[in-house]
Structure 1
Amino acid sequence: MSEVLAASIWTLFSFIIVYWACEALDLRDTKWLVIFVWVLSGLLAVLPGIDGMLSKILLGVRLPTTVEEARIGPVWKSAAAKIGMAGPRHSLWIEDSKEVTTPITIGRTVGVTHWALNKLSPALLEAVMVRELASHMVSRSSLSRLGSWYSIPARLVAVAIRSLIRLSRTVPVIGWAIFSFLVLSYLGVVLAAVIFFEDPVGPLLYLLPLLAPLVLAGVRHWNERMADRAAADLGFGPQLIEVFYLWQAEQKAQFERSGNGQLVWLDSNRVISQRIRALEIYQRALTRP
């Protein structure tokens, strides 16, 4: 259900962005043709190898190096065999991040973070791999692939916004000037839509992107919880909880050494603490006689 909701939300926001782009380029006579072509382009999502291409573009993952493959190969095969997914059905990708787990990947691609690969023992790494594989046991690869394809316009805008935020932190004067200009421009468009649109639906389309971060964050957290539960159902709940505590302790130690990034650390700690508590409650329910 969460996968269907996430795909629907991304597709809705992508539709709005494509619609806005047609309006901005003054394609009023052909905008519905452009939108039809965009919808029809979803047929490309069935092409072989599209999972890997979308994963690289949208999630920033990469194929493992020879050294990484030698380290994770036996763990990958063991995890797949234990949950009955042995065989070349899925491909393994690496996310160069310090997060504990990856987001739900696309189609038949399975991701593991650089942190998990290099910091965890084989037993704990296996628990993480079981979690990632288990999340694909209940997912629909075709729906995931199609939703990811239609999400490209919205995700490109999200990447641009994140880049502006990073720029505002690196070069505050330039970054905040650009960011403030775009925010004021957007608010001006929303105000104009409210004043001049006779149809009440029009202004709502301009207000929807304001809700996107909250809705998508909620869906992402729900997907994380469901993947954690899937691993617990397969008997890897205690190991996964140990992984979360290990990551939490390491992040806290790094923050105390550097003294920087307090807000980022507090947010990360809040999220992982919620995941730990939810998984511990679920694990107790599983073991209750």
Structure 2
Amino acid sequence: MDQASDPSYPGYPPEPAPAELGPDDLEYRNAPGTRVFHHARQRRTDATAWGTLALHIPGFLLSLAVVLLTALLLEVWLGLPVWVPTTLWITSGALVFHRPSERFLARHLLRLQRPLPEELARLHPVWREVTARAGIDGTRYELWIEDSDGINASAAAGHIVGVTRHAVERLPTAQLAAVLAHELGHHTGGHAWSGLLGWWYEQPGRHMWRALNVLAIRLYRSVSMSSYMAGALLVGLVAWLAFVTVSETYGLPLLLPALPYLTAAVARRAELRADEHAAVLGFAPMLAQVLHGWIAEERPATGRATLPGGAAVATAAAEPGFLARLLSSHPDHRTRLHHLQPYLAGQGVTPQGGHPLG
């Protein structure tokens, strides 16, 4: 069903012809009225999506233990069977694909807004072209706007594609199509739903861990103020409990400090997969232009500083440290351009105006 006639997507205007949008540098291969072929399989789960889910298993198990403990307490206090809250929590992951829940998430957690008619008039034909090239039914997804001055886009939940208002207003149409093709790649590769699903199932464990940290710090402060010996005994008790936990779980908790780095590495691979998806659809030159623009705008600003002896030297903004780069969820722009090179051979892509994609 076309979004223009979808009652659940109010305010969607009739699709305008590309010529009505003013200067347009996008090559439209699928004009309105042309036959579009959709793949029988609209989604897949690639290796990065499976990797994301695997890395969330420890958090899921911790959350499951918290839920089971809570369920046992509810059974003692209220007589509620243990399996009721546990089953409800396990099945709650289906909310990732529940449209009303997705819209609530988009509006209240991601701070996205419904597009204005003029924004939809610009986005709709571009989205149609991108999804038609991919063989994807674009009406399955909803376009949302982030009220931001940056150039960015995002794929969230099962069917949400967000793009900043600044990107809609400033990016050339072909570059905007490349940005949307990149986000579509996150959806069709399973990156969006797997990341959200992992985040959702980690919440009980995260909240319990934070509460225990706060409780331990306050308890230590209150005990140590009254007696150094009591503080030492408390530290010893915590150390003993940690040793027993590590021993009984075959050292698995020792892997927890490495999880943020592994998760970031998988996220960077997912970004490269989404870039590849856009490149296969013919948007590699446009995506490269976006990345070149980002490099130009984020180049460290140089200035002049005066040493105590009066000598002037050039200064530059500090580069991210090694650990910060390991924790980054996005590859650096030059790495992304390097992976795009096989799709750019012979096309002579050079930096152009415009703004970078966040």
TM-score of the two chains, using structure 2 as the length reference: 0.56
User: 2:320 aligned with 1:273, yes or no?
Assistant: no
1:133 corresponds in structure 2 to 184
2:248 to 180, 187, 200: 200
Report the residue type matching 1:4 in the other structure. Answer: W
Code of the residue aligned with 1:276 in structure 2: it is L
| Aligned counterparts, 1:94-243, within 5 A | 94-95=145-146, 101-139=152-190, 145=193, 148-149=196-197, 151-154=199-202, 191-197=239-245, 199-201=247-249, 204=252, 206-243=253-290
Q: TM-score, normalised by structure 1?
A: 0.67
2:153–2:180 contact (8 Å) kept in structure 1: no
Gaps of 5+ in 1: 162-177
Q: Give 1:6's match in structure 2, choosing from 18, 41, 52.
A: 52
Residues 32-43 of structure 1 mapped to structure 2, 5 A cutoff: 33=83, 34-43=85-94
Give 1:16's aligned residue.
62
Does the Cα contact within 8 Å between 1:7 and 1:151 map onto a contact in 2?
no
CA deviation string 1:40-90 (max 9, x = no partner): 333545544333344556655443344433332332233233333355121
Kept after mapping to 1: 8 A contact 2:63/2:206: no
Secondary structure in 1 matching 2:268? helix
Task: Structure 2 unaligned segments of length 5 or more: list them.
Answer: 1-46, 222-234, 304-314, 349-358
> 1:117-150, CA deviations, whole angstroms, 9 ceiling, x for partnerless residues?
343111211121122224434449xxx6476345
The one-letter code of the counterpart of 2:51 is L
Contact 1:241 1:280 in 2 (8 A): no
- Give the corresponding residue for 1:168: none
Structure 2 match to 1:245: 292
Question: Which amino acid in 2 is paired with 1:120?
Answer: L
For structure 1, which segment, 88-97 or 145-154, has the greater mean C-alpha deviation from structure 2 after superposition?
145-154
> Contact between 2:49 and 2:194, CA under 8 Å: does it hold in 1?
no
Q: By percentage of residues, which structure has more helix?
A: 1
Q: What displacement does 1:13 show?
A: 1.3
C-alpha spacing 1:193/1:54, structure 2 compared with 1 (3 Å): farther
Deviation at 1:111, TM superposition (A): 2.8
What one-letter code is carried by the residue in structure 2 that aligns with 1:196?
V
CA contact (8 A) 2:153 2:164 kept: yes
Q: Identity rate of aligned residues, in percent?
A: 25
SS of aligned partner of 1:107: coil
Q: What is the letter of the counterpart of residue 270 of structure 2?
A: N
- Partner residue of 2:144 out of 84, 93, 96: 93
Question: CA 1:54 to 1:285, structure 2 compared with 1: closer, same or farther past 3 Å?
Answer: farther
Contact 2:59 2:202 in 1 (8 A): yes
Pairwise CA RMSD of aligned residues?
4.6
